[in-house]
Amino acid sequence: MKEFARHTANPKPDLLRKVLRELQECPCVLVVLNHPFWSAEGVDPGAHRANMVRFLEEHRQVIHALEINGLRPRSENRAVMELASAFDLPLISGGDRHGCEPNATLNVTAAGTFDEFVEEVRQDRISKIVLMPQYFEPLKLRLFAETWHILGEAPGEFGRKLWTSRVFYITQEGIERPASFLWGKEGPAFVKQIHWAMGLIANPWFRPAMRMAMLTSWEEGL
């Protein structure tokens, strides 16, 4: 991880090739390219795609699978499927799960250990993915529900019951502080109002109506 951090701070192609080759030499390691088409850094989509394709062309032999992400748009996942076909790579499940919703995409396997699962994907090139029911819910609705859970109370979070103790920011002096240091344990009133409104959207009684309102097209539903 130190080598990865060093490369991130000062990108060097030779260092990246070295790290990826070392990972390839470990039979118990699975290298997955997560959500290939999501430009999380806000890079122009065209430039992002071009760089991502160049990356795969150069490092194809040390990338073991591409991710189908349970919290990305369906159209994006279809593009990932086409990319995997073009580079002859298996697909594997993933989800970026940050709230209480279980993963919407799961891998099923007969492997008894993680090492055996890695061998299935790397050597046998077998990857069986199951799409859970929430995968077909509107993405906007699921994200509202996730945000509602994140801003809610979590009694089992090791003394971090309130969201203000689970969200952090960095001060101008470079010190990491919880949001409670800035806003107090309860947080600002407007966040409470937002949380209350999101609770209505996530409520099981209203969810069917919200599902119909948000699922306006095949592309918008996940």
Strands 168-170 and 176-178: antiparallel
pLDDT at residue 41 above 80?
A: no
% of the chain surpassing 70 pLDDT: 95
pLDDT at residue 220 above 60?
A: no
Summarised one tens digit per residue, pLDDT across range 189-201 is 888 888 888 888 8
106 strand-pairing partners: 130
Q: Give the torsion sign (CA, 147, 153, 156, 158).
A: positive
Place 222 in a pLDDT band, splitting at 50, 70 and 90. very low
- The whole-number average pLDDT for the span 75-81 is 93
- The whole-number average pLDDT for the span 127-154 is 88
Place 218 in a pLDDT band, splitting at 50, 70 and 90. very low
**Pick from 40-49, 59-68, 86-95, 181-190: least confident:** 40-49
Distance CA 193, CA 48 (A): 37
pLDDT at residue 93 above 70?
A: yes
- The whole-number average pLDDT for the span 98-117 is 91
Summarised one tens digit per residue, pLDDT across range 160-187 is 888 899 889 999 898 999 999 989 888 8
Distance CA 79, CA 131 (A): 17
Q: Give the torsion sign (CA, 121, 8, 96, 139).
A: negative
Per-residue pLDDT at 83: 96
pLDDT at residue 219 above 50?
A: no
- The whole-number average pLDDT for the span 5-27 is 87
The larger pLDDT score, comparing residue 16 to residue 205, is at 16
Mean pLDDT of the chain: 87
Number of Cα atoms under 13 Å in the Cβ half of residue 112: 0
Place 158 in a pLDDT band, splitting at 50, 70 and 90. low
Q: Is 187 left (phi over 0), alpha (psi -120 to 50) or beta?
A: left
Per-residue pLDDT at 3: 79
Angle at 207 between CA 202 and CA 208, to 5 degrees: 170
- The whole-number average pLDDT for the span 154-161 is 73
Nearest to 99, CA basis, from 40, 64, 145: 145
